A and B are shown apart, each in its own frame.
Chain A
Amino acid sequence: MSVLLEARDVTRTVDVIDGEPLTILAGVDLAVAEGDRVSIVGRSGSGKSTLLNVLGLLDAPTSGELTFLGRDARRLRGAARDRLRGGEIGFVFQQFNLLPGRTALENVATPLYYDAGRAFWQREKIAREMLERVGLGERVAQLPSRLSGGEQQRVAIARALVRRPRLILADEPTGALDLATGQTVMELMEEVAGETGAALVTITHDPAIAQRASRHLRLEAGRLIADEPREYGGADAADAADDPAHAELVDGAAA
């Protein structure tokens, strides 16, 4: 399996108004190969979203090395960076981030406008197929405001996958969904990612979601460390609630 993405000693420091610069990422090492299923957990405010933005070429590391498909991210600028991101990376956000006022179909077709090939001309057909794939074939003309949370997230997933990216970055994709819906959505995402052999990096607060991945990582003190999946009590989410580490996570999320 070839390496898609590699981060070596990546840091991210932000300037804070009157105060020391804040180090969010203190040295992250990560390699993601094709078809990988990675979960990243961590307390709220630990820098998970920041990490994801860096990995997704939305943000630049302050220092360290980041290569994506063998290319040095620091050298990727402007339009080339945008094009690479659009073509190879798909984002699923916690708040769905659907474009208001556009139908499900239009939302899913949005990324295809940035495809300079045949996909642009066939955008409607491709988007329709993708919506069928996530079980929304009947609701293509619906506006996001008329869809349930789970449905909205499925639209967002369809949109993230419509260009067949090699890397899917999901930032708390089930955060706004109830447990059962969350599981369904994850299953779907894994299934579609599996079809294209895409790697899936999921950030989550939810141990039950994290547990679905094949590699488990925890972001702590600005570094990624291996996380023991059995800490969450295996497949049984109810057990996890008794786990002190989980309780801590839930508290963090609530804070």
Chain B
Amino acid sequence: MRGLGKFLTGIASSLAEAWEELRIHKGRVLLSLVGVAVAVCALTTVVGAGAMAEQLSREVSERQSGRPASITFSAYMQSPTGQIDAAAVDAAWTESLARHEVAFASRVTWASANVQYADGVSPANLQLIDVPYGEMHRVQIVDGAWFTDRDARRLAPAVIVNEVVWDRLGRPPMATHPTLELADSGVSAVIIGVSRAMSEYDGESAYVLNDAFPALGVVVDPMMMSSPSYEMWVPEEHADGLMQAISEEVRAALGEGSGFDGWRGDYGAWPEDPFLATKLVVAGVAVVILVLGALSLVNITLVTVRTRIREIGIRRTFGATGGRVFFAVMLESVVGTFVAGIVGVGVSIALVRSPLPAMLIGSSPDDMPGFPVEAAVVGILAATVVGALAGLLPALTAVRVKVIDAIRF
């Protein structure tokens, strides 16, 4: 019991002593830690901004080719006519989706229609899709809202036009229930939302729900209308299994001579990580920053170690063991860098969360990536390790110097 008490008192007194030392030398400690705090802040910020940039480019690529894992099927028939029964495919597809509980799926077909504007008639591309498409392709809505299931049953068909169409219409607010006049059929479609143009080269286009398309009364030349493709967005780990299962089920339902083939188009299927280069650059910059911070710390510690030798000598005459001295010097370094790491991460969080990066990059992602916790942890850990290494040198010096030499200093 007494032994334990002494042991605990020993720990308590070591900590108390080290803490006192830290308090007394706070000026020096602060000075040496500025570099580390800045380094950790820079490290975390760079990684955080890198994650944001990566998320941005990921979203751009997801708008084009879907989110991982997106599988696109197309149906074909090896019959003399080559004509496929779209209704049969739709039915088989819907059934198969329901069986596998795939929530995100959409048929995609391209068509076109002439639109009556105030200044004349011009064609617009129509993309025929199902409700989940918006989520699957991160369609950005600048006004109004994306389709809901109810929109398929509207009497007046609903459309979502892109900004190019909207501009030609004079950007009417959604609250005024603007309509899109189809020149050939004379049908008025209700505009319920406006999608952002993906680039400045976009032409006029609009989204229509597959089920609402007939109500537009658009007569399409079969040669001009693409055959539908069938897209689904499923968890990556199930992608291959689902692709095969659905492909087989639909083919079986369509009968002899039919085919329903799928492929993955999203970046997740690419052989290489498309963001590898970005990641490497970011990591490289971060490492360089941290090394510089570490160097500044080692530098300052070395300069100060001489002035501390005498104090350490005095303590040792009063019974401080080599271990105690080592511990105190080490702790000063480690606790200091740890705190500096936390401060650096704190500042970095404030920076990354501020509107600043979005201003610098020019746009901000839909799904803000979470704060790079790994970077923060790595930053703090690295700072602490750097602190331990930087502390090792003076701590060893302090322990190895002879007491008599130390007090003469």
Contact = CB atoms under 8 A, between A and B. Distances in A.
Could you say which of B9, B319, B404 has the most chain A C-beta atoms within 10 Å of its C-beta?
Answer: B319
Contacts, number: 73
Given A82-B320, A86-B318, A99-B314, A113 B17 contact: yes
B173 interface: no
Interface in B339-386: none
Contacts of A58: 317, 403-404, 407
A11 to B, nearest CB: 16
Given A58-B403, A120-B12, A97 B321 contact: no
B321 A82 contact: yes
A78 B322 contact: yes
B315 A116 contact: no
- Overall SS of chain B's interface: helix
A195 B315 CA distance: 25
Contacts of B320: 82, 86, 113-114
Interface in B307-325: 311, 314-324
A183 interface: no
B23 to A, nearest CB: 10
B13 A83 contact: no
Contacts of B404: 53, 58-59
B331 to A, nearest CB: 14
A106 interface: yes
B317 A114 contact: no
A87 B17 CA distance: 17
Contact of B322 (A79, A115, A159): A79
B34 to A, nearest CB: 21
Nearest to A54: B404
Contact of A114 (B7, B314, B319, B403): B319
A99 B17 CA distance: 13
Nearest to B9: A116
A83 B324 CA distance: 11
A120 B13 contact: yes
A58 B313 CA distance: 10
Nearest to A120: B13
A93 interface: yes
Interface residues of A, number: 31
Contacts of B402: 59
A87 B13 CA distance: 15
Interface string A86-125: 1100110100010111100010001101111100110000
A142 to B, nearest CB: 15
A114 B322 contact: no
Contacts of B13: 113-116, 120
A56 interface: yes
A102 B318 CA distance: 16
A163 B13 CA distance: 15
Interface string B1-22: 0000011011011001100100
A116 B17 CA distance: 13
A87 B403 contact: no
Contacts of B315: 99, 110
A155 to B, nearest CB: 13
Contacts of B280: none
B30 to A, nearest CB: 15
Contacts of B319: 82-83, 85-87, 111, 114-115, 163
Contact of B318 (A78, A101, A111, A117): A111
A10 to B, nearest CB: 15
Given A56-B317, A86-B318, A91-B317, A114 B324 contact: yes
A82 B316 CA distance: 7
Given A87-B319, A116-B10, A93 B17 contact: no
A53 B406 CA distance: 12
Given A58-B403, A93-B407, A116-B6, A106 B321 contact: no
B323 A79 contact: yes
Interface string B167-202: 000000000000000000000000000000000000
Contacts of A159: 318
B87 interface: no
A85 B317 contact: yes
B223 interface: no
A110 B318 contact: yes
Contacts of B314: 97, 99
B98 interface: no
B220 interface: no
A250 to B, nearest CB: 24
B312 to A, nearest CB: 10
Contacts of B318: 86, 90-91, 110-111, 114, 159, 163
Contacts of B9: 116-117, 120-121
B24 interface: yes
A209 B328 CA distance: 39
Residue among A90, A120, A163 with max Cβ neighbours from chain B (10 Å): A120
A50 to B, nearest CB: 9
A116 B7 CA distance: 7
B324 A106 contact: no
B24 A102 contact: yes
Interface string A202-218: 00000000000000000
Interface in B1-54: 6-7, 9-10, 12-13, 16-17, 20, 24
Q: Which 10 A-B pairs have the closest CB atoms?
A: A86-B319, A114-B319, A111-B318, A79-B321, A82-B321, A116-B6, A113-B17, A120-B13, A116-B9, A113-B13
Given A78-B321, A79-B322, A79-B323, 5 more contacts: A58-B317, A59-B404, A110-B318, A111-B319, A115-B13
9 contacts: A78-B322, A79-B323, A82-B322, A83-B321, A90-B318, A91-B318, A97-B314, A115-B319, A117-B9
